Amino acid sequence: MTDVNNRNDTEKVLLVAVELPGAGEKTERSLEELSRLTETAGGEVVDTLVQARPTLHSIHYLGKGKLQTLKNLCEELGVETVIFDDELDPGQAKAVQKILGDGLKVLDRSALILDIFQQHARTREAKTQVALARAEYLLPRLTRQWTHLERQAGGIGGARRGPGETQIEIDRRLLRDQIKKLKKELEKIALQRSTQRKFRHEFFNVALVGYTNAGKSTLMNTLTDAGVDVEDQLFKTLDTTVRKMTMPNGREVYLSDTVGFIQKLPHQLVASFRSTLKEAESADLLIKLVDISDPDFRRHLATIDRVLKDFEIPEKRFLTVFNKADRVPESMNVTLVKREYPDAVWISAKEAIGLSRLIKEIQSRMDENTIIRTVDIPHQAGDIIAALHEHTRILSQSHEEDVTRFTLQADRDIWAYLTKKFHLKGE
């Protein structure tokens, strides 16, 4: 259940789900997503098994008889791994593994996602966040039969026992210690990120947020030539990537690409990856990027809104952008969708369609946050004059006897930063 590190690239996988009353289409979509997640992790989906039930079985997830059917199907197809579409609680995981036998590897959606995150983590922050999420996932699942910590980095299973401690108790104690250590490490990283954001606050900040695989990295590349990895895989971007782009009027913008959202994201990851979404929380404009070619785009948009709701970001700082407009299915009533989302911008990041309107909209949002001030700067204050030229748009300047009078245009936040740093007084 927890051994998600050592799977072969071509491992044969069978997907399992429960279809609750009235959730047929939702279950189908969820399984499609789970299939893509499996492929992203390097597995090969050979079949799926769905059982219609009024509720999830509290002990076995599926009915006990259906689990036996599942076991027989796995033997027939040569399946090595079974992945359940929902998160199995520790009791369910134990009961399922007991019936299926130790020859089959049992994972749930959460374990699979954790595996993918671990594969794609690159920076110190992402690796630390994944390690914390995995440790929190493992802790309640440690039992005598399912402890795999001896195979984890650090050799937890070889620790010295305290008086009366069992091996499981040792694993739990050391895992709790590991969680505390990782949380402290993340606090240090968060402080460093805060310092970096404080520096970037001098500029207008735009954050790309959206469902995973919606095209955020592609859009970022198109707008900034950032060279961000772009592949048709879920969760390709884990670390927050920040790049600078120049607007047509010459003003500079910081653009950040954040980790993608997904349905049924493990709660351990929601908590651990909250820091990557800080880029969105502190942004002047948040672009909610949605794959409009996906029939489930409304649910994807709802997922984004639900997660961002916790940040209490004002609605005026959001901009909905529908990507992949060139791939809209013929069955979609585009007129109806445009009426439903009148303020959304339709683009194709890959084909560079509609980008001029998007850039115009970003610039319009910048202008809403812009003020015009006139300020007198002493001739000898070269550092202040340089800062004004770097961070504001100089509309006019005239030289007086002791000062240079600047009329300038600046973002409100930038002006507040400059006035505080240089003690400026403008009209």
**Pairwise CA distance, residues 73 & 60, whole Å:** 17
pTM: 0.69
Residue 237 confidence (pLDDT) above 60? no
Taking only the tens place, the pLDDT of each residue in 6-54 is 444 578 999 999 999 998 888 998 999 899 889 888 899 999 999 999 9
**Structure confidence at residue 56 (pLDDT):** 93
Average pLDDT over residues 374-378: 94
**Structure confidence at residue 57 (pLDDT):** 93
Average pLDDT over residues 377-405: 91
**Pairwise CA distance, residues 357 & 215, whole Å:** 17
**Structure confidence at residue 160 (pLDDT):** 46
What's the chain's average pLDDT? 83
Average pLDDT over residues 71-94: 94
**Pairwise CA distance, residues 238 & 269, whole Å:** 11
Query: Which one, of 218, 216, 212, lies nearest residue 233 by Cα?
Result: 212
What whole-number percentage of the chain has pLDDT above 90? Answer: 40
Residue given tokens 């997660």 in the structure block: 307
43 and 7 Cβ atoms separated by less than 8 Å: yes
Question: Of 7-16, 246-255, 341-350, which has the strongest mean pLDDT?
Answer: 341-350
Residue 417's pLDDT band, with cuts at 50, 70 and 90, is confident
Dihedral of alpha carbons 338, 308, 219, 207, sign: positive
Helix or strand or coil: residue 90?
A: helix
**Structure confidence at residue 299 (pLDDT):** 87
Helix or strand or coil: residue 400?
A: coil
